[in-house]
Amino acid sequence: MKSPFRFVSFLLFLLYAFILSCTSYQVLCENDRPIIGVLTLPPKDPDNYSGEIVASYVKWLESAGAQAAVLPYSLDANEFKLLLSSLNGVLLTGGADFIELDPDSDYIKAVRMILDKAKEFQGFSQSEREAIRDGNPGSVVERADFFPVWGTCLGFEAIICVENMSKEDTLSQSTDYKNVSLPVEITSEADNSLLFENNQDIISSLSDASNPIPFHNHQWIIPIETFVNSYRLSGSYSILGYTEFCGDNCTPSVTIVEHFLYPIFATAFHPEKNAFEWALSYNINHSSIAVGVMQTLSQTFVDYAKMNSNMFLSEDEQDSHLIYNYSPTYTGKDSQSTTTQVYYLPI
């Protein structure tokens, strides 16, 4: 008869081997410590700062179980690509109306490199796709090529302009989307999308005109007609949502997009503001339903970041890039401020 002790020892050995495979080799196990890069914005005061990040975007990621790393837009291209290879995804934030989306600017060059990174993805197997469809992305084997990217407001505009290779032929100015909460009409494309496939319960809330949740605050829009008539856009991205309830003479605009092949998501509205921005001058819906809906979007994005196996070469290197090295400034005490906190990054 075999010794019970030897059997227990064998089980412990198997458990140790499994833990080792998760922590050391990053295979077969969900990455439960995702680090998402937040692309900095060009500073309003370039003489004193190298970049800035509105803190609500960091909180939006952290609330879903991710850590945020600073991703400087002005890094040398080789350094930038090296840093991307250590991250599990990237968030392109809104803000900075003064940015002109010049195709030759350091900011747009950075966005282009981020999108190129996301496009290294080779696709899911049938079993992986079924696992995601069943609401179990954690069962998908981690892979370095699955690199999710999310763009909000300015980030949304930057992604669209880079993909369409033009700002002038893509964006239109509008005064109907400044400081207003508007419902989003969700399209049938959402049913099979990575973003909404397992989030059908929030669709009715996003579309509810009696309690509008998505907060818009942008002067540029992508008219639906412009998007559909662009083969670069309509041939690569699905329109998951659009907004048309913005006034009698308002131009319906594209509001949510997802790439056909790669994990690239973007929204014209601000999902981070419902829970984390408190300017009294803003018409933000802070209801429990609104916060919950936007939390679902952040959780979905972070869950996909957990499927990425990238990691820093050392803990010291990782720590040097995390947002915790900086302290946010309380900007909300200024009655003219539109943000509650901002990270101003030193030169």
Structure tokens at 160: 């669209």
Would residue 246 show up in a list of annotated catalytic residues for this protein? Answer: no
3-state secondary structure (DSSP) of residue 57? helix
The radius of gyration of the chain from alpha carbons, rounded to an integer in Å, stands at 21
- How many Å apart are CA 2 and CA 77, to the nearest integer? 61
Residue that the structure tokens 């099979």 belong to: 192
**In terms of Cα–Cα distance, which of 4, 27, 41 is closest to 151?**
41
Give phi and psi for 67, each to the nearest 5: -100, 150
Please give the single-letter amino acid code of residue 332: G
- How many Å apart are CA 294 and CA 266, to the nearest integer? 13
Q: How many CA atoms lie within 13 A of 187 on its CB side?
A: 17
User: Among the options 216, 259, 270, 321, which is catalytic?
Assistant: 270
User: Among the options 153, 246, 259, 321, which is catalytic?
Assistant: 153
**In terms of Cα–Cα distance, which of 274, 263, 275, 18 is closest to 144?**
263
Q: In 10 A of CB 49, how many CB atoms?
A: 17
Structure tokens at 170: 């893509």
Q: In 10 A of CB 291, how many CB atoms?
A: 16
Question: Residue 346, Cα to own-chain centre: how many angstroms?
Answer: 24
Would residue 270 show up in a list of annotated catalytic residues for this protein? Answer: yes
Residue that the structure tokens 């992986």 belong to: 128
Q: Running DSSP on this structure, what letter comes out for residue 66? A: -
Residues involved in catalysis: 153, 270
